[in-house]
Amino acid sequence: MKRISKKLLMALVTVGFGLSATGSAWSAESLDDVMKRRGLSQKDVLSAAKTYVPTGKRDEFLAFSSGGQSGQLIVYGVPSMRILKYVAVFTPEPWQGYGFDDESKAVLAQGRVNGKDILFGDTHHPAISETNGVYDGQYLFINDKNNPRLAVVDLSDFETKQIVVNPIMKSEHGGAFVTPNTEYVIEAAQYPAPFANEYVPLSQFNEKYRGAVTYWKFDRKEGRIVPSESFSVELPPYSQDLSDFGKGPSDGWSFTNSFCSERYVGGIEKGRPPFEAGCSQKDTDFFHMVNWRKAAELVKAGKAKKINGHDVIMMDTAVKEGILFLIPEPKSPHGMDVSPDGKLMIVSGKLDSHTYVYSFEKMMALIKAKDFAGKDPYGIPILDLKKSLHTQVQVGLGPLHTQYDSKPCVAYTSIYVDSQVTKWDYCEGKVLDKLSIHYNIGHLMTMEGDSVTPQGKYLVSLNKLAIDRFNPVGPLHPQNHQLIDISGDKMELLYDMPLPLGEPHYAVAIKADKLKPKIRYKSGWNSRTDKRHKFRTRPGKERIERDGNKVRVFMTTIRSHFTPEIIEVNEGDEVTIHVTNLERAEDETHGFAISGTNANLSLEPGKTASATIKADTPGVFPYYCTEFCSALHLEMQGYLLVQPKGYQKTSVKGTEGTIYKKADYDKQFKTNLSTQGVIDTVVGYITARNYQDFKPVVALVEDATEQLGFAANTRKKAEGFAAKKDWHNATLWAGQWWQYQVKAADIGLRAKTYLDQHGAKVIKK
Ligand code: K7E
Ligand code: CUA
- pLDDT of amino acid 651: 75
Ligand 1 centroid – CA 414 distance (Å): 11
Enter the CATH code of domain 61-88+121-514.
Answer: 2.130.10.10
| 559 CB near ligand 1 (under 6 Å) | no
Tell whether the torsion through CA atoms of 647, 649, 651 and 656 is positive or negative: positive
> What's the rounded Cα separation, in Å, for the pair 417 and 493?
19
Q: Shortest CA distance to 205 belongs to which of 377, 331, 355?
A: 377
The pLDDT of 485-500, averaged and rounded, is: 97
**Shortest-distance atom of ligand 1 to CA 464:** 6
| 125 CB near ligand 1 (under 6 Å) | yes
**Shortest-distance atom of ligand 2 to CA 627:** 2
Answer whether 61-88+121-514 and 525-643 agree in fold.
Answer: no
pLDDT (tens digit, 9 = 90+) per residue, 60-90?
999 999 999 999 999 999 999 999 999 999 9
Check whether 686 has a pLDDT greater than 80: yes
- pLDDT of amino acid 145: 98
Question: How much of the chain, in percent, has pLDDT values that exceed 90?
Answer: 93
CATH topology of domain 525-643: Immunoglobulin-like (2.60.40)
Query: What is the phi/psi pair of residue 9, to 5°?
Result: -60, -40
The pLDDT of 600-622, averaged and rounded, is: 98
Ligand 1 centroid – CA 498 distance (Å): 18
| 629 CB near ligand 2 (under 6 Å) | yes
Mark out the alpha helices in 264-332 (DSSP H runs). Answer: 275-278, 292-300, 315-320
Check whether 2 has a pLDDT greater than 80: no
The pLDDT of 375-390, averaged and rounded, is: 98
| 506 CB near ligand 1 (under 6 Å) | yes
Q: Could you say which ligand is closest to the alpha carbon of residue 562?
A: 2
| 590 CB near ligand 2 (under 6 Å) | yes
Confidence of residue 20 (pLDDT cuts 50, 70, 90): very low
- pLDDT of amino acid 351: 86
Amino acid present at 205 = F
| 334 CB near ligand 1 (under 6 Å) | yes
58, 82 contact by CB (below 8 A): no
**Shortest-distance atom of ligand 1 to CA 401:** 1
Amino acid present at 159 = E
Check whether 3 has a pLDDT greater than 90: no
- pLDDT of amino acid 191: 97
| 462 CB near ligand 1 (under 6 Å) | no
* CA-based max dimension of the chain: 100
pLDDT (tens digit, 9 = 90+) per residue, 235-264?
999 999 999 999 999 999 999 999 999 999
Check whether 23 has a pLDDT greater than 50: no
pLDDT (tens digit, 9 = 90+) per residue, 296-330?
999 999 999 999 999 999 999 999 999 999 999 99
- pLDDT of amino acid 764: 67
- pLDDT of amino acid 16: 43
| 124 CB near ligand 1 (under 6 Å) | yes
**Shortest-distance atom of ligand 1 to CA 442:** 6
pLDDT (tens digit, 9 = 90+) per residue, 107-162?
999 999 999 999 999 999 999 999 999 999 999 999 999 999 999 999 999 999 99
Please tell me what DSSP assigns to residue 684.
H
Ligand 1 centroid – CA 315 distance (Å): 27
**Shortest-distance atom of ligand 2 to CA 629:** 2
The pLDDT of 651-658, averaged and rounded, is: 88
Check whether 398 has a pLDDT greater than 90: yes
Domain ranges of the chain: 61-88+121-514, 525-643, 660-757
> What's the rounded Cα separation, in Å, for the pair 314 and 332?
25
Ligand 2 centroid – CA 559 distance (Å): 7
Q: Could you say which ligand is closest to the alpha carbon of residue 626?
A: 2
Q: Could you say which ligand is closest to the alpha carbon of residue 171?
A: 1
**Shortest-distance atom of ligand 2 to CA 628:** 2
- pLDDT of amino acid 652: 83
Check whether 27 has a pLDDT greater than 80: no
- pLDDT of amino acid 503: 95
| 173 CB near ligand 1 (under 6 Å) | yes
- pLDDT of amino acid 4: 45
Ligand 1 centroid – CA 371 distance (Å): 34
- pLDDT of amino acid 648: 87
Q: Could you say which ligand is closest to the alpha carbon of residue 242?
A: 1
| 505 CB near ligand 1 (under 6 Å) | yes
| 627 CB near ligand 2 (under 6 Å) | yes
425, 432 contact by CB (below 8 A): yes
- pLDDT of amino acid 385: 97
Ligand 2 centroid – CA 598 distance (Å): 18
The residues, any chain, with a CB within 8 Å of residue 511's CB and separated by 6 or more, are 60, 61, 135, 447, 448, 455
Query: What is the phi/psi pair of residue 615, to 5°?
Result: -85, 70
The pLDDT of 16-23, averaged and rounded, is: 44
The pLDDT of 154-178, averaged and rounded, is: 97
pTM of the model: 0.94
| 442 CB near ligand 1 (under 6 Å) | yes
Closest residue by Cα to atom 2, ligand 1, is 124
> What's the rounded Cα separation, in Å, for the pair 22 and 523?
40
Q: Bridge-partner residues for 61, per DSSP? A: 78, 511
**467 φ/ψ sector (left φ>0, alpha ψ -120 to 50, else beta):** left
| 632 CB near ligand 2 (under 6 Å) | no
| 242 CB near ligand 1 (under 6 Å) | yes
Ligand 1 centroid – CA 30 distance (Å): 45
The pLDDT of 265-284, averaged and rounded, is: 92
